[in-house]
Structure 1
Amino acid sequence: MMHVVFKTAAKDRDAEEAERIRRVKAAGKVPRVCGPEVIEAPARGPIRLVVPKVVRVTDGGDVERIPVSHEGRKVAKVCDVFDLMEARTRRKLFSDVQIDVGRRYASLVERHAKGATKCSSLEASGGGSGSGEFMDAFLSEGQEIAAMRRAAAYDRDGREVVALEVRRASKVRRIMAGDLVERVCVGQQSLSAVLRAHGWTNRGSHIEALALSLGAALDRMRRA
Structure 2
Amino acid sequence: MARTLKAQTNQTTSVIVVGSDGTARLRAEADRVAKIKAAGAVPAQCGPEVPSAPARGAVRISNPKELVPGTTDKFQHAGWQKRSVMHRCDVFDMMRAKALNVHARAKAKDVKAVFEDPFNAGQVSMARYYAGLHESLHSGGVCGTSYAEDRVSGGGGGLDAVDLRLAARQEFEALERRVGRGVAMALRKVRPSKRGDGRACKMISDLDVVRMVCLHGLSLSEVLGKYDWSKSSRNLLALRVALRGALDRMQGFRG
TM-score tier, shorter chain, comes to: 0.7 to 0.9
Deviation at 1:17, TM superposition (A): 2.2
State the alpha-carbon separation in 2 of the partners of residues 116 and 41 from structure 1. Answer: 23
Paired residues, number? 198
Uncovered stretches (5+) of structure 1, i.e. residues with no partner: 55-65, 123-128, 155-159
Higher helix share: 1
- 1:178-207 deviation per Cα after TM superposition (whole angstroms, max 9, x unaligned): 111011101111111111111101111111
In structure 2, C-alpha distance between the alignment counterparts of 1:68 and 1:133, rounded to whole Å: 36
SS at match of 1:40: coil
Counterpart check, 1:145 vs 2:172 = yes
- Give the CA deviation at 1:68: 4.2
Cα drift, residue 175 of structure 1? 0.9
Quote how far apart the aligned CAs of 1:209 are.
Answer: 1.0
Query: Residue 181 of structure 1 corresponds to which residue in structure 2?
Result: 210
Q: Which residue of 2 aligns with 1:42?
A: 54
What is the match of residue 20 of structure 1?
Answer: 32
**Structure 1 pair 4/149, CA: closer, same or farther in 2 (3 Å)?**
closer
- Given the superposition, is the C-alpha separation of residues 151 and 16 from structure 1 closer, same or farther in structure 2, using an over 3 Å criterion? same
Choose the corresponding residue for 1:161, options 172, 177, 182: 182
Q: Output the amino acid matched with 1:145.
A: F
- Cross-structure match for 2:160: 133
Residues 165 and 172, structure 1, Cα contact 8 Å, conserved in 2: no
The aligned amino acid for 2:178 is A
Normalised by the length of structure 1, the TM-score is 0.75
How far apart in 2 are the matches of 1:110 and 1:118? Answer: 13
Q: Distance in 2 between matches of 1:5 and 1:35?
A: 45
Amino-acid identity (%): 37
Shift of 1:111: 0.2
Contact 1:115 1:138 in 2 (8 A): no
Letter in 2 for 1:100: S
Give the match for residue 82 of structure 1. Answer: 92
Find out whether 1:215 has 2:235 as its counterpart. Answer: no
**1 or 2 for the larger relative contact order (CA 8 Å, sep ≥6)?**
1
Q: Secondary structure at the residue paired with 2:210? A: helix
Mapped to 2, the partners of 1:214 and 1:67 lie a distance apart of 35
Match of residue 108 from structure 2: none
In the TM superposition, what whole-angstrom CA distance separates every residue of 1:88-113 from its partner, at most 9, and x where no partner exists? 33262101111111011000111012
Compared CA separation, residues 211 and 115, structure 1 to 2 (3 A) = same
Q: What letter is aligned with 1:19?
A: D
Describe the SS at the equivalent of 2:187.
Answer: strand
Which structure has the larger Rg?
2
SS of corresponding position for 1:93: coil
Q: Is the 8 A contact 2:221 2:231 kept in 1?
A: yes
> TM-score by structure 2 length?
0.67
Q: Does 1:114 align with 2:135?
A: no
Q: What is the distance in 1 between the residues matched to 2:167 and 2:38? A: 44
